[in-house]
Structure 1
Amino acid sequence: MTTSLSWLRAEIQERILNKLEPIKLSPKRILLEPDFSGLNRRAFIRRFPGAQIDSIADSQIQGATPFRIKLQQALSRILPNSGRLLNQGIPADASYDLILSNLSLQSRSNPGAWLANCHQHLTEGGLISFAYLGPDTGKELRNANLEAGHLQALPGALDMHDIGDALVQNRYSDPVMDMEYLYLEYETEEALYKDGLALGLISPDAQL
């Protein structure tokens, strides 16, 4: 993971936590989807010290490596509030009071199916909170010196109104959506290229 993407994920995670502050929550079971090398787990242990925290291995998400998977498994054993590291998705019998997702929805070919699955695993009165990259992500890449056909659309980077409609269709009550712009500045095209690859915005066979 590049330094800029590590910062982006940490920044968005902090914003998710800030948005949860006004909400009265005492969740007993939390699902993090995914947990990037233990980063999310540590923050949510501090925020919800009494909760059991399960996490989806980011092997389910783009860019996983065997080392990162092993690191996640080790962290799940030694950190307090140790829940399960779920390598095969959410177990059929699992239920959660709070489901949180940081930058994974845009990589999914069917966001509605993911939302439906999460709804099945929420307890009555449970909450889902997620952040994803929208359709404007990487629009500056169109001005980069890339060959035609090497730019890729993120399959789940839908307009927030479409995601809001999907939430209603999947029986979520009182959905609230908002949009924020974050701008990353790069000193070199190579750094931008690496992040574009990591996020799935650039085809692996693209050349600068």
Structure 2
Amino acid sequence: MTTSLSWLRAEIQERMLDKLAPIKLSPKQILLEPDFSGLNRRAFIKRFPGAQIDTILDRQIYRTIPLRIKLQQTLGRVLPNSGQLLDQGIPADASYDLILSNLSLQSRSNPGAWLANCHQHLTEGGLISFAYLGPDTGKELRNANLEGGHLQALPGALDMHDIGDALVQNRYSDPVMDMEYLYLEYETGQALYDDGLALGLISAGTQFHQFKVPAALKLTLEIVYGHAWVLAKNRGIGDSKTAYIRVDAIKRK
């Protein structure tokens, strides 16, 4: 997603904060993924005063110590010109009470692996919250370009039930999933085409004259929201009736 749609991430950021409003949470360490032009750090600082806030942008992780940002360390890298994130994970020594992911999960080739990695870096009682583009995003483009060839699928744009299952499989507790549709209307086919490229729905290299613009000049965005807690982190994986505790998690009184 390019900076031309940073307004969309900014809008989703506000909606995510609204969804977190009724949740009692006082995190000291927060990871926002990704950083983007238009990210309102002040909103997070107001909502979570005193928290250390890290944000990911391309290869770097930036640390905000209220109203001050400095380069902290290298995190990973982005595939050039593809828009797909390499699942290289959070730095091994990083630990967070809250991880928020804003319209990034749909670009990951393995969302389950990313959720598992986040679980490792969330503290006991920590929360993961995310929003991503669901499978109905850009359905008008598919209907207009039935011959294919100029469109590409978002690898992590899974049904919210699939992501909910992945949360349970990766030992998150009390997952909550919901979704909404946003509808974008355009004055020109060129503007719609530009947003389709920015969203990763149109294959890179496709020229405007090769692309069939939907007659209605509209674009549907399916926004899927989810959050879940990290509880009983030392409990091993078992069935629904049996809990297993790792030996190294047993402490003598």
| Fold in common (TM above 0.5) | yes
Residue aligning to 1:34: 34
Question: Aligned equivalents of 2:153 and 2:172: distance in 1?
Answer: 27
* Residue correspondence of structure 1 range 123-138 to structure 2 within 5 A: 123-138=123-138
Q: Deviations for 1:9-35, whole angstroms, at most 9, x for unmatched residues?
A: 111111100010001111100000101
Deviation for aligned residue 1:192: 1.1
State whether residues 53 and 82 of structure 1, in contact with CA within 8 Å, keep that contact through their aligned partners in structure 2.
Answer: no
Figure out how many residues of one structure are paired with residues of the other and give that number.
194
Question: Aligned equivalents of 2:15 and 2:35: distance in 1?
Answer: 16
Cα gap change, 1:27 to 1:77, in 2 (>3 Å):
closer
Cα gap change, 1:199 to 1:85, in 2 (>3 Å):
farther
1:180 partner amino acid: E
Secondary structure at 1:175 match in 2: strand
Q: Which moved more, 1:155-164 or 1:76-85?
A: 76-85
What is the root-mean-square deviation of aligned Cα atoms in Å?
2.3
Question: Aligned equivalents of 1:88 and 1:2: distance in 2?
Answer: 21
* Residue correspondence of structure 1 range 43-192 to structure 2 within 5 A: 43-57=43-57, 59=58, 80=67, 82=69, 87-89=74-76, 90-144=90-144, 148-192=148-192
Deviation for aligned residue 1:197: 0.9
State whether residues 154 and 200 of structure 2, in contact with CA within 8 Å, keep that contact through their aligned partners in structure 1.
Answer: yes
State whether residues 10 and 38 of structure 2, in contact with CA within 8 Å, keep that contact through their aligned partners in structure 1.
Answer: no
1:88 partner amino acid: L
Consecutive unaligned residues of structure 2, counting only runs of 5 or more, are 77-89, 209-253
Deviation for aligned residue 1:142: 2.3
Residue aligning to 2:86: none
After TM superposition, the runs of 4+ consecutive aligned structure 1 residues lying more than 2 A away are 40-43, 76-79, 81-87, 142-148
Q: Deviations for 1:180-201, whole angstroms, at most 9, x for unmatched residues?
A: 1111111111111111111111
- Tell me which protein shows more helix as a share of its residues: 1
Deviation for aligned residue 1:82: 4.1
Question: Aligned equivalents of 1:205 and 1:157: distance in 2?
Answer: 22
- Tell me which protein shows more strand as a share of its residues: 2
State whether residues 29 and 51 of structure 1, in contact with CA within 8 Å, keep that contact through their aligned partners in structure 2.
Answer: yes
Question: Aligned equivalents of 1:186 and 1:86: distance in 2?
Answer: 41
State whether residues 160 and 177 of structure 1, in contact with CA within 8 Å, keep that contact through their aligned partners in structure 2.
Answer: yes
Deviation for aligned residue 1:151: 0.6
Question: Aligned equivalents of 1:98 and 1:198: distance in 2?
Answer: 28
Identity %: 82
Consecutive unaligned residues of structure 1, counting only runs of 5 or more, are 61-68
Deviation for aligned residue 1:86: 5.1
